[in-house]
Amino acid sequence: MNTLANLPFLKMNGLGNEIVVLDLRGLSHTVTTHEAQAIGQFERAKFEQLMVLHDPVTQDTDAFVRIYNADGSEAGACGNGTRCVAFAILRGTERSQTIVETTAGLLTCTRVADELFTVDMGTPRFGWRDIPLSEEVADTAALPLSRQVEGLPSLESPVGVSMGNPHAVFFVADTAAYDLTAIGPSLEHDPLFPERANISLAQVLGRDHLKLRVWERGAGETRACGSGACAAAIAAMKRGLVDRRVRVSLPGGDLTIEWRADDHVLMTGPTALEWTDSLPASLFRDAAA
Cβ-contact 237, 257 below 8 angstroms: no
What contacts 9, CB < 8 A, 6 or more positions away? Answer: 20, 21, 22, 23, 39, 45, 276, 277, 278, 279
Of 78, 84, 109, 230, which is the active-site residue? 78
Q: Where on the phi/psi map is residue 85: left (φ > 0), alpha (ψ -120 to 50), or beta?
A: alpha
| Nearest-angstrom CA–CA distance, 92 and 242 | 38
Q: Where on the phi/psi map is residue 134: left (φ > 0), alpha (ψ -120 to 50), or beta?
A: alpha
| Nearest-angstrom CA–CA distance, 208 and 212 | 13
Compute the C-alpha angle 206/208/211, nearest 5°: 65
Return the SS3 of 265.
strand
Peptide bond connecting 153 to the previous residue in cis, omega within 30 degrees of 0: no
Residue 78 annotated to the active site: yes
Residue 109 annotated to the active site: no
Of 84, 109, 225, 230, which is the active-site residue? 225
Helix-helix angle 281-288:33-41, to 10 degrees? 130
Catalytic residues: 78, 225
